[in-house]
Amino acid sequence: MNFFKRPLTEAEQAQRRARKELERLAKTQRKFDAMAEKAQKAQRKQQQQSIARSEKEAQRQAKQEQQAASKAMKEAKKASKQRGRLARHAAKLRGHRRDRPVSCSATASASDVAGTEMSRPLAKRAHCAVCGKKFGPALHRRRHHCRQCRESCCLQCTSQTRHVIPQTGRTTRQKVCVVCDTLIFTARTSTTATTTNTMTTAAIAAAPVVREPAEAIVALAAAHRRASIGRRPRSAPLPRTSGVAVAVPCPRGPRARSSQSSSRWKLSMRAGLRKKKRRAEQLRNGDMDHSLQVEKHALFMGPAISVQPQTRMAPPAPMREQGRDAIAGGRKWMCMKKKELELERQRRKERGRWIVEQNGSVVFDKPAPTSVRSKYGRYRAIVPVGIAYFGRSLYFK
């Protein structure tokens, strides 16, 4: 066994130094190789990321181009459909105008006013041309157009009566405003009635168009005055006739029919009679409640007291006797109530006496531990401890 290490020779030391140097060089080379490989990996990763980013951008651009192309195609289809719809509507209107029969008067009126009425478009005002109120979304504030003067008006200023307007070339009745209805068509009707249809169509077409609401009001008042003068009032007497029998027809209307049926209900609708009727119903309900209370009393309180049966009140009398019957019924009810109270008082006294007899003897001069109290007397008795009688019930203290 060697206790001492043998010293190395010069050759061995040189060999060891060469081996360490080679190991150091190999380690440095491996380190540089790892760093180069890591740099190459990072470069490859950056290249892959840039390639993916460019591909994604290309896909996004292609998608946007496709969406724009589809949107343009939809817009083109929509515009084509709209043009086709408008073309069909125009062709339909042309066919209707071509196939519609036009009368000679309408043709003459249209030829007279050519370039004035037919060429004027419908007015689109923000306010009504008659009342001056602003149009809105409400039903009575929506915009309407008069086919005679072609002005904008609201529903309240539109006449309920429609008329045939020759200027439009149509045979159907169309809506007009109240001013045109009053100043043109009402005047035409009255003039035609007085002249027995002597006015021609050209004169009707040449009637002036007035657009003043004040004139319309004046014309309406004049027409109402003429109608009231020509119509005999209901209360005016008939003119006398000499030797001629005049047959007066019986008025047949809603007022004449309803007079007989409504006269039967006038009496019951008066305030006083209704009040009396309500009072009779209250008395009848009170009678029923009292009978129910008597039955409950007899059922729960035992047969110690026999209550006389309550006679049922007669049904309500006619309205002319309602007052006397109500007073008599009230007095009768008060008498019965007094009898019931007297019976109840007697029964309480008997119940107190019975309790005293059952539980002890009556002692009037010495106070007892407990006492029997009643509304109508005080009885001191020797009774079991803890029992006391108050009114109708027994309570345990």
The per-residue pLDDT for range 334-370, each reduced to its tens digit, is 888 888 888 888 888 888 777 777 765 444 333 444 4
What b/e readout covers 161-194, taking b as 16+ CB neighbours within 10 angstroms? eebebbbbeeeeeebbbbbbbbbbbbeeeeeeee
Can you give the pLDDT at residue 80?
A: 92
Q: Are 251 and 259 in contact (CB under 8 A)?
A: no
Q: What's the pLDDT at 138?
A: 86
pLDDT in tens, 16-42: 999 999 999 999 999 999 999 999 999
Query: What pLDDT, on the 0 to 100 scale, is given for residue 7?
Result: 84
pLDDT of residue 380: 44
Q: What's the mean pLDDT in 217-241?
A: 52
Instruction: Give residue 325's pLDDT band: very low, low, confident or very high (50, 70, 90).
Output: low
Q: Which of 378, 359, 377 is nearest to 367 (CA)?
A: 378
Helices and strands (DSSP H and E) totals, the chain = 9, 8
Token pair listed for 377: 């007397």
pLDDT exceeds 90 at position 219: no
Decide: pTM greater than 0.85.
no
